[in-house]
Amino acid sequence: MGDLGVGFRYLMNGQRWALSHGKTFGLGLLPGLITLVVYAAALVALAFGADDLIAWATPFADGWGSPWLGLFRGFLTAVLFALGLMLAVITFTSVTLLVGSPFYDAVSERVDASIDGNVPTSGRSFWYDLWVSTRDSLRILVRAAIWGVLLFALGFIPVVGQTAIPVAGFFVTGFFLTEELASVALARRDVDLRGRLTLLRSRRMLAWGFGVPLALAYVIPFVAVFLMPGAVAGATLLSRDLLGEPTAPTADAVPGAGEAAPAGLAKPRPTPRPSADRP
């Protein structure tokens, strides 16, 4: 259970780092704002069209009497919107990271430099890295969609579908959010998608402690935009922990690379570094 607190501390220290770098923080809001406008329009369209979509998908219920028809379709409409919101939260991070890729890479590199002066790079071209990031994001989206469909189906179970399933949805969302954000730092270390998932599954509590509070915060309009720069910074700390690298400044830290760098974190737990071709 201690990893839950460590993951949450990384999230908070990442936000503290971002707020202490005002200019960097300000520039980091632009990709999120662009993505937010697009997603807000999509969610509004879903909210207005969900009733018609559910009515079209359930013609067998047309003859049901009141109040069962309204209750049944109202429940399905709410579940559909919740599913859309879950996918929006997960994919918002992916799309924002793609839109602001150069900026968020710079944030992650500055956090690395502020700790031990070591700034790993993939050695690949920007366009190749962008392609890999896009491909991995699509793979994560497919995984998230499968979980979304499963949770949607389980939502039909009485009582459980209205209590435990929404909670499970936030845990699933939090895990995938953590993977997306940690990919910025881990991809620079040549840890591929399979390796990233293996690392996070070995420390699920750590991933949930970081990602679940973030997923809950992302439900509030505009909050995701302001949390993105700090979330990337915090995920860099989490990534270093997963790989057994220091998460507090050492004697080799680059002066000025990360003024007010996050400190006071728990000692990292050594974890074997997965190779790109080994799960």
Residue 250 CA to residue 3 CA, distance in Å, equals 23
- Residue 122's pLDDT is 78
Q: Is the pLDDT of residue 221 over 70?
A: no
The average pLDDT across 89-112 equals 84
The average pLDDT across 43-70 equals 81
Tokens of 89: 């939260």
- Residue 234's pLDDT is 95
| CA neighbor of 56 nearest in space, from 36, 76, 71 | 76
pLDDT, mean over the chain:
81
| CA neighbor of 202 nearest in space, from 162, 255, 168, 241 | 241
- Residue 204's pLDDT is 94
- Residue 20's pLDDT is 86
Whole-prediction pTM: 0.74
**How confident is the model over 223-277, as pLDDT tens digits?**
888 899 999 999 999 999 999 998 888 766 665 654 443 433 333 344 444 444 4
